[in-house]
Structure 1
């Protein structure tokens, strides 16, 4: 019974939402694989590239798709994977976004990291968790 409920919910979605979820799943998988196998400098270079064109997108709908997929995948998909996936989906649509990388000191020997994403100066993913983190890098780099 638990298996049929998600399938029934998926079946009730519009074709547009189903396609968006498929794109989000593929992009999340690609981001997860890239983080796992590529050096950070390669991922940073990818994330620093601006969109090739100007466009528009429903940022909230894209965020919904990435978060829905993130909660259901069988691999570890945390803020970095989600942020990179949403960043790529926005860039593909011509929407400039900034991927922020922050750190916080948890104890004397432990540092934790967090990634959040902003569009037009407004945090759209990972903002609630970003409190207490110092931004050490932004992709593309921000002035100031």
Structure 2
């Protein structure tokens, strides 16, 4: 990201961007481990959080984290995919006391194989993985 673009951002946005960069880098490394080792980081299997925000500030926090993850993902080495992005978002929002649900979904591809996708929701906000999530059938959720 160009320095001029960073300077135009608020201090809060710059801090969120820095936090997202660290969280994405850490999450990218964690998802290389067996899922059974990192599953507790996603929360309790089969649970889902509420869809209605407690207040406007919680919704704003979710949107802010989503923007920071999306921006940082463009510049973090190894181009973090959906699972590290959803984990990074969950960790950031947990620190802000915003409840989240991580969804894991699958779909059949043109060759007949299976593709997977992960997305993160906080209240009515899809924090990460929004662009293609409707193409996938949710098979697991963690809150």
TM-score (norm 1): 0.81
**Whole-angstrom CA distance in 1 between matches of 2:37 and 2:124:** 25
Corresponding position of 2:81:
78
* Cα distance change, pair 134–91 in 1 and its aligned pair in 2 (3 A): same
Q: Which has the larger radius of gyration?
A: 1
**Whole-angstrom CA distance in 2 between matches of 1:85 and 1:124:** 10
Aligned counterpart in structure 2 of residue 106 of structure 1, from 98, 106, 109: 109
Corresponding position of 1:94:
97
**Whole-angstrom CA distance in 2 between matches of 1:14 and 1:124:** 20
- Name the count of aligned residue pairs: 132
Corresponding position of 1:12:
8
Contact 2:103–2:119 (CA<8 Å) still a contact in 1? yes
TM-score (norm 2): 0.82
Larger RCO, structures 1/2 (Cα 8 Å, 6+ apart):
2
SS of residue paired to 1:58? helix
SS of residue paired to 2:105? strand
CA RMSD of aligned residues (A): 2.2
Aligned counterpart in structure 1 of residue 18 of structure 2, from 11, 17, 22: 22
Give unmatched runs, 5+ long, in structure 1.
none
Give unmatched runs, 5+ long, in structure 2.
48-53
**Whole-angstrom CA distance in 2 between matches of 1:63 and 1:123:** 8
Contact 2:24–2:69 (CA<8 Å) still a contact in 1? yes
Displacement after TM superposition at 1:42 (Å)? 2.0
Matched, 1:43 2:38: yes
**Whole-angstrom CA distance in 2 between matches of 1:20 and 1:86:** 11
SS of residue paired to 2:64? helix
